[in-house]
Amino acid sequence: MATRWLQLVLVALIALLAFLQYRLWWGEGGRRSVADLHRQVDQQSHENEGLQQRNAALSAEVEDLKSGEAAVEERARSELGMIKPGETFYRVVEPQSAVDAAATDSEGEKTEPAD
């Protein structure tokens, strides 16, 4: 009777050990999920570094725009096409030969312009 009881306890302990090993290797919070979490943390850290660099560049641009009129003037001229009072705006149009040269492809064949 005592040996039967010991066998039953031994089987229960082996089953408990197998269950714990399963949870350790494949279960929630096991090695596989921890490795996935480490990978996600590394990926998020890399993304955060890129965003920090972008934020630093934008912050420097904001400081530049706040500190000087030259940066504001340059941006207004290039992006908005603004001119100062008393200035004259000239539009430079390329001659037709330059347009034709741009229309040729890399093999030297002439392509028809789109209408």
**pTM score, whole prediction:** 0.42
Percentage of the residues of the chain whose pLDDT score is greater than 70: 85
Tell me if 112 is assigned to some domain: no
Q: Is residue 17 part of a domain?
A: no
Return the bridge partners of 110, or none.
104
87 domain residue, yes or no: yes
**Cα end-to-end distance, the chain, whole Å:** 100
CA distance 19 to 105: 70
User: Is residue 52 one of the residues assigned to a domain?
Assistant: yes
What's the structural domain count of the chain? 1
In a domain, 71, yes or no: yes
Write the pLDDT tens digit of every residue in 31-86: 788 888 999 999 999 999 999 999 999 998 888 778 877 777 887 888 887 888 88
Range of the domain at 75: 31-102
* Backbone angles phi and psi of 105, in degrees to 5: -85, -175
Q: 83: which residues sit within 8 A by CB, 6+ positions away?
A: 77, 89
Residue 105 has what DSSP assignment? -
